[in-house]
Structure 1
Amino acid sequence: MRNLSKLTVLLASASVLAACAPSARVQSAAVADLTAAVAPAIPPAPPVIQAAPVSALVSQVAIPHTEFKLANGLTVIVHEDHKAPVVAVSTWYNVGSKDEPAGKTGFAHLFEHLMFNGSENLPGDYFTYLQQIGATDYNGTTWFDRTNYFETVPRGALERALFMESDRMGYLLGAIDQSKLDNQRGVVQNEKRQGDNRPGGLVDYEVLATLFPGAHPYHHDTIGSMADLDAATLATVKEWFIDKYGPNNAVLVLAGDINAAEARPLVEKYFGAIKPGPVNNPAQANVPTLPATKTIEMKDHVAAVELQRHWAVPGINSPQLAAIDLGGSILGGLASSRLDRILVRDEKLAVSVSAGLQVFQRIGLFEVSATVKPGVDPAVVDKRLDEIMADYLANGPTEEEVARAATQDVAGRIRGLETVGGFGGKAVALAEGKVFTGDSDFYKRSLNQYASVSAADVKAAMQQWLGRPAFKVNLVPGERPPYEEAKGGKAKGKDIPTKKTPRVMPAVAQTPPLDFPNVTHTTLSNGVQVHYAQRNAIPTTQVALSFDAGYSADAVSGRGLQNLTLNLLEEGAAGKTSQQIAEEEESLGAEVSASGSADRSTIILGALSANLSPSLDLLRDIVERPDFNAPDVDRVKTQTLTAISQAQKEPNSMAARALPALIYGENHPYATTGLGQVAAVTGFTPDNLKAFHSTWLRPDNMEIFVVSNLPLAELQPQLEQRFGTWTAPATPKGVKTFSAPPARPSAQRIYLIDRPGSPQSIIYGGQLTGINPYGEIVPYSGANEVLGGNFLSRINMDLRETKGWSYGVRSSIALNVNAVPYLINAPVQADKTGESIRALNNDLQIMLNKQGVTQEELTRLVSNNVDALPGRFETSGAVLAAMMANDLYRRPDNYYELLADKYRGLTRAGLDQALKTAVDPNGFSWVVVGDAKQVKPQLDKLGIPVEVIQPK
């Protein structure tokens, strides 16, 4: 949890600022100096649309709940939501990395990992027990201010979940030993390598170290240092737990199919006997101001220069929260933002920009960045960025900009509240408010701030906080300095003796069967099919326009045309500019996204039902009437070419771009990725885009999928008005031509891509299978789940949990409609690359030839998939995706209701046979992206041919 991009917490949605700043007189002078070089930039007049006011949207948001406290200090919050027979269980501990003293950085995060490794009465991995009860949306995270664990469980498994959470709260220490500490230390260090290995992955350390003095609680990153992790002893980590993880330092939220009267005795039963510990008083922290602007240059594997500015700002309790958050959105967070309009669209000096604020308990982090257009002098962009910001600080936003930003923010929160738990949802909103502000109703107070903030408020807040000196980071293409690795020695020390306390685990009640929404099929007057389902949890409508295209519709010489066409749809349509389209979306609280898979091109509208009619008008313009103006095409082409260049430097993307041609053959329609190839994208013209649109994105090649709280009788006339009159071009629609892929190889081969200085290698293997995507896939997916499809799979448990060489390993079956590959992805520490491929091959051989699926694996597989079904379709988005998958793979509408019996009918022999039929252990092509000097000698020892290839 170390990415310092905009924080996606539901509670404050993005940002915050306010506190120790220079005097107002000094700030005003600074603003005056900066603004002298530029005249005020007045945004163009937006189109006049009728949208619900922000105050009306806010009035729809409510999370009624009951709060009580146990005698031992545990705070409990209960929210009822009976839309599905599931309950979100979210446990938040008031401790994070800001509470770590010197020499113990990374301890909070390390202990989060250890708390998944079994408790006194639940030995082994906690994921085992979560999958046994059909949990969904389960994980744990650590950040500067808190550690949390969460799972959404079937109503009948709630008591078991409470037992589990209470056991790791009160009965954990007796289960922690030196081997677990050593293993999870290795896993965390590989998580650190994985993050550090990404382009720009080392910037966070410099930002925190510069903005916050050495003794400041936010001075160090949550992941910690290699040295401190190496130095952790069993006694020190146990002392950390004793001091920080007592019930009086925690908040437990239960949200879903439960009420307070039912919840209280259960919580008392399982948590009441846990003794309180010391109260963690979260570290206080001021908001430092740099004495002067500081600029550094960092080299990394980036495609273009990125100019960044960073400020430390106040935390979540600031009365200026909404003003600074919305100010960041207007500056560079929205698609219509000032920086987007000026630097990207109008002056074409940058290929992308961003601005936004992360909010934490004591402080916030505000960042502005611009990726320089290749060929443009970075100094020109740097100067222009300063001028635009100075103008913005001096003049502030318009009221209309503030209203658009607030509408987008509130609309996002409404969508997020459809879930009861997980990484967002209602449980998160309640827990964050209680832990960070002492008020579980903080979400409502925050929303009211967003509904009432004015342009003057934003202007004042921007001047106060962004008028101060910034930390500037210029991230430029080049070779990094040598990576600082772990010392290799793991500290040992005395243990703290712990007496185990036996407890009886409760039974799990039967989970009710899934009741998937009824799907209605109808047809518009022009023959377009409409598939509709109703969901009433939140007042939103999702409309997906699905075209039988995808990147397999691209010609071999024109790879990337589908992607570029989709990216241009919102860049000008029906005479509206991209700026006007962005502003209209934001005013409506709508989200329009276009994406392409191997087989389909899809445009999805997420709309507030109160604003559905104008949102559909906008969608119609974007899809039916794109302009493809030459200046917009040139601009987006440059962005795409920069993205391709970056993909040729990012390790996972490098592997993903190389493998398809190796398994499908160079000329196969699937032998690419959506971004395409440089030569093809460079040559595309507006006429090419118009031809793709008229050939593939047309009504006779389209189906519409809708999930809404509105009845079909109200929706269908609106769809008919926008899409029922759309006439197909006279020219024939597109037809894809699939040649036969090459035969699966009879011997493995390794393709090595050199990426010097990488502390981690990416291993990406694949082979084609004979799986029929329209046939019965449950035996194949079930067998894959055992081998590599989830956390408890054999290859993940081997390379991560047993050997500690990886942060996570997975395998998957890609259900393309014309060829189905089996894929394995394994990021591993560089010095274990060769051994990891050997281990993967050994795991494959054992699974296929020596020890197939065990009874325990089968039992867990069935329970996990059957009991999890009611929790899989909590959101409209999940229902929409399921409807589209059923259509693509020619399944019945009630397919997911049939899955329980399909899983119950699985046998060990059937699963073994399915995997043997699909996968040949000798048929893998392996792409390895890593430091060739370190990696190739390891690979040469495997007895597998190794070929060094260039990035695609």
Structure 2
Amino acid sequence: MRRSWLAASLLALSSTALAQTAAPAPLSELSQAVNIPYEQFTLPNGLRVIVSTDRKAPIVAVSVWYNVGSKMEPKGKTGYAHLFEHLMFNGSENAPGDFFKPLQEIGATDVNGTTWFDRTNYFETVPTPALERALFLESDRMGHFLGAVTQENLKNQIGVVQNEKRQGDNQPFGLVEYAQLKALIPADHPYGHSTIGSMADLDAASLDDVKGWFRQHYGPNNAVLVLAGDIDVPTAKRLVTKYFGDIPKGPQQGPVVAPVPTPAQRIDEVMKDRVATTRIYRTWVVPGLNDPDAVPLDIAASVLGGLSSSRLDNALVRGDKSAVRVSAELQQFAQISFFDVQVDVAPGVDVAEEGRKLDRLIADYIANGPTADEVLRSATRDVAGRTAALESVGGFGGKAVTLAEGSLYSNDPGFYNKQLAAYAAATPAQVRAAMQKWLSRPMLALVVEPGPRGAYEESKSVAGPSGFAPAYYHKPGEAPVTFAPPAVVDRSQLPPVGPIPNLDFPTVERAKLSNGIELVYAQRTATPITRMVVSFDAGNAADPADKLGLQSLTLSLLDEGTKTRSSIQIAEEEERLGANIGAGTSTDRTSVSLFALSPNLQPSVELLADILRNPAFAPAEVERLRKQQLVSIVSEMTQPGGLAQRTLLPVLFGRDHPYGRPTSGLGDAAVVEQLKRDELIDFHRAWIRPDKATIFIVSDQPLAKVRGVLDAALGDWKGEGAPGTKAFTAAVPPAQPRIILVDRPDSPQSLIYSGEVTSLKGRDELLPYIAANDVLGGNFLSRLNTDIRETKGWSYGVNGSFRRLLNGVPYIVSAPVQADRTGDSVAAMQADIRAFLTTEGITPEEKERTILGFVRELPGSFETGSDVLGGMQNNVLYGRPDDYYDTIASRYRALTAPEMDKAIRSVIDPSKFVWVVVGDAKAVKPQLDRLGLPVEVKTVPQRTAQGEK
């Protein structure tokens, strides 16, 4: 199913309820679930601290938000905020080396940092007994950092950031943001350049420059600390005062002046890129999130192209089928926002006419506004999204994030409640007035069409002469700018970690429906949410070898009409319920999932049952979704990752093997073009049936109630005809080590994708192999990532992993690297793997860190209902007992370094690796020719949705 979580899953109420479905709960009832209790205090040095107590698990989210982003960067110093995000993971004066090491040792999960226009943040979720160590680390990089910054790690992280930039730029549509900012924002405006910065500015960054940047921006008075989870205010005050209280204030950050710019007139531009189909953009600059018009504009975008039943979806995708994908969103920042509309034009459609049609639709919408029903559905989407976010205390979007954003951007941790009230009170007149005020202004009309890109500007600065400081760049104030005085606490060693209990995985219960479908259930009562997955024994391996793509097309049609509901009716009903129903596949399983607000469980399950049992496969819908899948296939072949997957897996397993096909399941264009409606019906009958199904459930509702609802909707479901079977008769071909170079011209980066098929099977006990690989390639601190990223600076990240499939387990290494270091990177990884598997095995320190990390991260790994749902599915798929995760800690602790070495050395042989490189052959092939392996060059014709170019 094509609808994504953000765009469609958390959608809302409608006044046009279908007669056969129970009425949804009122918005007022649903919104009561959105509540984050908190208290706050401020240290004498200005550090704002917010505490939210949530005792559902023995974990605490630690989130530090600094009021520094790319909008504070002067000309000639673009990218500094993001560069510092990286540098501050490289250790501090009292905790040298990568911060990931001590964080792994304490079992931290959701460890990351991000930078954007308005902020830089660092966050991790840790077991409660490890909180003190996490606070030590965060306080040390706030108050004891500059002495740890060296020229060596500065140079290295500049290389890493530049490769992150190349990695993003290398994707289809990867240069669009630069064009949007250049066209819409004046060059001297705080939001006038991309957060990633320019290559030249990064190259020119000196040690003195970055130390000065730190002194100006990273004081405690310029930060917010949020602690959410198994913590109370007295404990927080004691620990935060202990570790942060001695850090002196920094310069006081003044306000950044960032008015909403308006172009003098409409800007029409055309770009070329290696894309599958033409994309039309319409982009306006509008006010930031604190403006009274922000919520009405967000609702406007949702109704236009965010809801699954949006105006543009119904008119252009479902209606005249002139587009294969549409979207509209309000990308909100503190002081400005971007109202962005996108339309992917269908093959054969006149692009200019599609643009004019889009402009007419938008103009009519601005003039007349949304309906009351559309506004209400958008408001309910917001409520449902916030309810789902409350499952997490931290990470990218949990309670800590919500409180920190409110505090930093709006000086109010509870700002989310004001937003919620604004959504609930919004009227069509308010939305229409906001659109007429802001969207009647000039905008950027950008078209990106298939074709060769222009020359990639690797080192041109976008920021002008270095050293010029515009008005919004603030000089240090009178506050002292010094290193922190000797700490009250002993910083000569990390604080000890208290005893961390083993994971107590939720009790798993089982039941059956009247027709024998097994239910696997666990209860989680923290939020009024029910998640379930109907898992079928199918997967990509169920696609017939001569019909690749059949399953994908079948699944995409499930929610595009049943015998009693049209495609639009299904979309609107999901929205009114705040539900999300989505289908997807792994290699071995096919799943149809449901997210439901528990007050709306019964009607949500009724809708799910109708989609599962009664898809109509209407001929017009079949043709529409076929075209969309064909565009997706072409799009996959424009992406480095898609090309790598399509190349390596058929080589490793053989094209006749069920695993020798791309993991996307999109299939072959020639096959998809010829699929008949009857073949879709037959596939559904053979595979989406009760005797192949297991239903996994995590809910705040008791099993008896959930079973009753499911039995009423699915208990009488019976399969028709013979069930489908998968054939694993094709033998895996002998390894043929070589390099396959997939020519992707003008790529600033190469994607290296390599591996072999091991002797393992999915139901083998893989713990020793996974633990050993954590040291080799499975972790940020792994040998491969440390060498290629952290030491050499040639990549944004390298990963090696066992792909756990039931009937075969390949080991695959993935490494996007800068183009001029492609051959060197292959050679370095070959040497790293050989050394690890022979003379340089796992050290005692690596073993200890790895095992401690695996054991201690277990509580944080199963924080949410979706985490538990995934664990239950894995246990059933791999034939493990329901209490497997309760015993896993003792299994990890029993491992020794020699056992781990022996395990991984018995299944990986780098001399058998096939190396796929997706990159610019003219730049890369001479490097690969020197490696001593045969090099095959594979040319991929540039294709668009209209055909070859």
Q: If the TM-score is normalised by the length of the shorter chain, which range does it land in?
A: over 0.9
1:739 is matched with which residue: 710, 714, 729?
729
Indicate if the aligned counterparts of 2:246 and 2:484 stay in contact, CA closer than 8 A. no
Q: Which residue does the alignment assign to 1:27?
A: none
Determine which of 55, 76, 88 is the counterpart of 2:49.
76
Could you tell me which residue of structure 2 aligns to residue 604 of structure 1? 593
Aligned to 1:727: 718
Question: Quick one: which of 676, 691, 703 aligns to 2:694?
Answer: 703
1:474 to 429, 438, 447: 447
CA contact (8 A) 1:695 1:733 kept: yes
RMSD: 2.0
Q: What's the counterpart of residue 530 of structure 1?
A: 519
Indicate whether 1:169 and 2:159 are aligned. Answer: no
Q: In 2, Cα distance between the equivalents of 1:885 and 1:377? A: 47
Distance 1:69 1:45 in 2: 49
Q: Structure 1 counterpart of 2:568, which letter? A: Q
Unpaired segments ≥5 residues, structure 2: 468-480, 942-949
Seen in structure 2, the aligned counterparts of structure 1 residues 179 and 239 have a Cα distance that, compared at 3 Å, is same
User: What is the percentage of aligned positions where both structures have the same residue?
Assistant: 53
Contact 2:143 2:483 in 1 (8 A): no
Equivalent position of 2:398 in the other structure: 425
Structure-to-structure mapping, 1:185-334, within 5 angstroms: 185-334=158-307
Distance in 2, matches of 1:336 and 1:923, equals 50
Say whether 1:508 aligns with 2:479: no
**Is the CA contact 2:247–2:485 (under 8 Å) kept in the aligned structure 1?**
no
> What does residue 857 of structure 1 align with?
846
Query: Counterparts of 1:797 and 1:927 in 2: how far apart (Å)?
Result: 22
1:676 aligns with 2:649: no
Alpha-carbon separation, structure 2, partners of 1:529 and 1:382? 51
Relative to 1, partners in 2 of residues 1:492 and 1:207: Cα closer, same or farther, differing over 3 Å? closer
Deviates more, 1:172-181 or 1:665-674: 665-674
Aligned counterpart in structure 1 of residue 18 of structure 2, from 23, 47, 56: 47
Structure 1 Cα separation of the partners of residues 204 and 343 of structure 2: 39
Distance 1:583 1:404 in 2: 9
CA contact (8 A) 2:287 2:293 kept: no
Q: State the 1:282 CA deviation.
A: 4.0
**Superposition map of 1:786-865 within 5 A:** 786-865=775-854
Counterpart mapping for 1:404-415 below 5 A: 404-415=377-388
Deviation string, structure 1 residues 907-926 (Cα, Å, up to 9, x no partner): 11111111111111111111
Moved more, 608-617 or 501-510: 501-510
Residue 920 of structure 2: aligned partner: 931
Distance in 1 between the 2:929 and 2:879 partners? 46
Q: 1:222 to 1:8 in 2, by over 3 A?
A: farther
Alignment partners' CA distance in 2, 1:46 and 1:499: 63
1:623 matches 2:596: no
In structure 1, the residue matched to 2:583 is: 594
Per-residue deviation at 1:500? 9.3
Q: When the two structures are superposed, what TM-score results if normalisation uses the length of structure 1?
A: 0.94
Conserved 8 A contact 2:248-2:484: no
Cα 1:478/1:672, change in 2 over 3 Å: same
Give 1:444 shift: 0.9
Structure 1 residue 109 and structure 2 residue 99: aligned?
no
Q: 1:216 to 1:105 in 2, by over 3 A?
A: same
Map residues 510-659 of structure 1 onto 2, 5 A cutoff: 510-659=499-648
Q: Any conservation in 1 of the 2:34–2:383 contact (CA below 8 Å)?
A: no
Q: Does 1:357 align with 2:347?
A: no
SS of 1:82's equivalent in the other structure is coil
Q: What are the Cα deviations for residues 320-349 of structure 1, in whole angstroms up to 9, with x where unaligned?
A: 222111110110011100000000001000
Relative distance call for 1:500 and 1:193 in structure 2 (3 A) is farther
Q: How far apart, CA to CA, are the structure 2 residues paired with 1:296 and 1:801?
A: 39
> Which portions of structure 1, spanning 4 or more consecutive aligned residues, are displaced by more than 6 angstroms?
6-9, 496-500
1:688 matched to 2:688? The reply is: no
Question: Is the contact made by 1:813 and 1:823 (CA closer than 8 Å) also made in structure 2?
Answer: yes
Equivalents in 1 of 2:402, 2:5: separation in Å?
A: 14
Matches of 2:660 and 2:627 in 1, distance apart?
A: 23
Shift of 1:458: 1.3
Measure the CA separation in 1 of the matches of 2:730 and 2:446.
50
Deviation at 1:46, TM superposition (A): 5.8
**Contact map agreement 1:120 1:500 (CA 8 A) in 2:** no
Given the two structures, how large is their TM-score scaled by the length of structure 2?
0.94
- Aligned partners of 2:940 and 2:340: how far apart in 1? 32
1:454-490 CA-to-partner distances (Å, cap 9, x unmatched) read 11211111222112111011000000111111389xx
Q: Establish whether residue 871 from structure 1 lines up as the match of residue 868 from structure 2.
A: no
The answer on whether the counterparts of 1:308 and 1:473 sit within 8 Å (CA) in structure 2 is yes
Equivalent-residue separation in structure 2 for 1:459 and 1:7 (angstroms): 26
Query: Any gaps of 5 or more consecutive residues in structure 1?
Result: 1-5, 15-42
AA in 2 matched with 1:836: S
One-letter amino acid matched to 1:683: Q
- Structure 1 counterpart of 2:72, from 99, 104, 107: 99
Structure 1 residue identity aligned to 2:843? T
Written as runs of structure 1 = structure 2, the 5 A alignment for 1:429-448 is 429-448=402-421
Q: Distance in 2 between matches of 1:281 and 1:894?
A: 55
- Whole-Å separation in 2 of the counterparts to 1:169 and 1:126: 13
Quickly say closer, same or farther: Cα 1:908–1:487, change in 2 above 3 A.
farther
C-alpha displacement of 1:56: 1.9
1:36 aligns with none
- The residue that corresponds to 2:744 in the other structure is 755
Q: Are residue 712 (structure 1) and residue 703 (structure 2) matched? A: yes
Structure 1 position 64 matched with structure 2 position 37 = yes
Total equivalences in the alignment? 911
Structure 2 Cα separation of the partners of residues 364 and 460 of structure 1: 17
Please give the alpha-carbon distance, in whole angstroms, between the structure 1 residues aligned to 2:555 and 2:891.
38
The whole-number CA distance in structure 2 between the counterparts of 1:380 and 1:683 is 29
The 2-side partners of 1:775 and 1:930 are apart by 36
CA gap of 1:352–1:939, structure 2 versus 1, over 3 A, is: same
Q: Secondary structure of the equivalent of 1:325? A: helix
* Structure 1 residues 287 and 442, CA gap change in structure 2 (3 angstroms): same
Is the partner of 2:95 in helix, strand or coil? coil
Find the residue that maps to 2:228 and give its secondary structure: strand
> Equivalents in 2 of 1:908, 1:83: separation in Å?
35
2:511 alignment partner AA: T
| Alpha-carbon distance, 1:95 to partner | 0.7
Query: Does the CA-based 8 Å contact 2:654-2:733 persist in structure 1?
Result: no
What amino acid is aligned across from residue 623 of structure 2 in structure 1?
D
Paired residue type of 1:107: Y
The Cα shift of 1:574 comes to 2.6
For residues 359-392 of structure 1, the C-alpha deviation after alignment (integer angstroms, 9 at most, x for no partner) is: 1010001100100001111012111101111111
Q: CA deviation at 1:740?
A: 3.9
Measure, in 1, the Cα distance between the counterparts of 2:689 and 2:839.
52
Q: 2:744–2:940: 8 Å Cα contact kept in structure 1?
A: no
User: How many angstroms apart in 1 are the aligned matches of 2:6 and 2:632?
Assistant: 23
Separation (CA, whole Å) in 2 of partners of 1:355 and 1:907 = 53
Is contact 1:85–1:512 with CA below 8 Å preserved after alignment? no
* Counterpart residue type for residue 846 of structure 1: A
Is this contact kept in 2: 1:306–1:475, CA < 8 A?
yes
- Tell me the amino acid that sits aligned with residue 341 of structure 1: N
